[in-house]
Amino acid sequence: MSPDADASPAGGAARAIAVAVLLAIAGPVLGIVLVNLAVVPLAFAGVEITPILNISLSLVFLTWGGIGGVALLYLRYRGKDLSYFGVRVPSFRDWVAAVVGYVAALALGLSAAVVVSQLGVEAGTNQAAQLGMENPEVLLLLLPASFLFIGVGEELLFRGVVQTRLRETFSPAVGILLASVIFAAIHYAAVSGSPMARFTSISLLIFPSVVFGIVYEYTDNLVVPVLIHGAYDATLFSMLYLAVKFAEMPQETVLFV
Q: What is the pLDDT of residues 16-63, one digit of tens each?
A: 999 999 999 999 999 999 999 999 999 899 899 898 998 999 999 999
- Residue 10: which pLDDT band, with cuts at 50, 70 and 90? low
Q: Is the pLDDT of residue 127 over 60?
A: yes
Nearest to 84 by CA among 1, 10, 201, 174: 1
Q: How far is the CA of 54 from the CAs of 32, 58, 148, 163, in angstroms?
A: 12, 6, 17, 30
Strand partners, 191: 126
- Residue 232: which pLDDT band, with cuts at 50, 70 and 90? very high
- Residue 95: which pLDDT band, with cuts at 50, 70 and 90? very high
Q: Which of 109-118, 204-213, 221-230 has the lowest mean pLDDT?
A: 109-118
Beta strands in the chain (DSSP E): 125-126, 191-192
3-state SS assignment for residue 214: helix
Nearest to 155 by CA among 58, 231, 55: 231
Cβ atoms 153, 60 nearer than 8 A: no
pTM of the model: 0.90
Residues 116, 119, 120, 124, Cα dihedral to 10°? -20
Residues 6+ apart with CB under 8 A from 175: 163, 166, 167, 169, 213, 217
Mean pLDDT calculated for residue range 218-236: 97
Q: How far is the CA of 22 from the CAs of 41, 118, 151, in angstroms?
A: 29, 36, 20
Average pLDDT score over the chain: 89
Question: DSSP readout, 122-179?
Answer: ---EEHHHHHHHH-HHHHHHHHHHIIIIIHHHHHIIIIIIIIHHHHTTS-HHHHHHHH
Give the rounded percent of residues in the chain with a pLDDT score beyond 70.
91
- Residue 119: which pLDDT band, with cuts at 50, 70 and 90? confident
Predicted pLDDT of residue 254: 46
How far is 173 from 61, CA to CA, in rounded Å? 32
Rounded to 5 degrees, what angle do the CA atoms 78, 223, 257 make?
95
Nearest to 10 by CA among 169, 181, 171: 169
Cβ atoms 126, 201 nearer than 8 A: yes
pLDDT (tens digit, 9 = 90+) per residue, 189-212?
888 888 898 899 899 999 999 999
Residues 131, 136, 141, 143, Cα dihedral to 10°? 100
Mean pLDDT calculated for residue range 146-167: 96
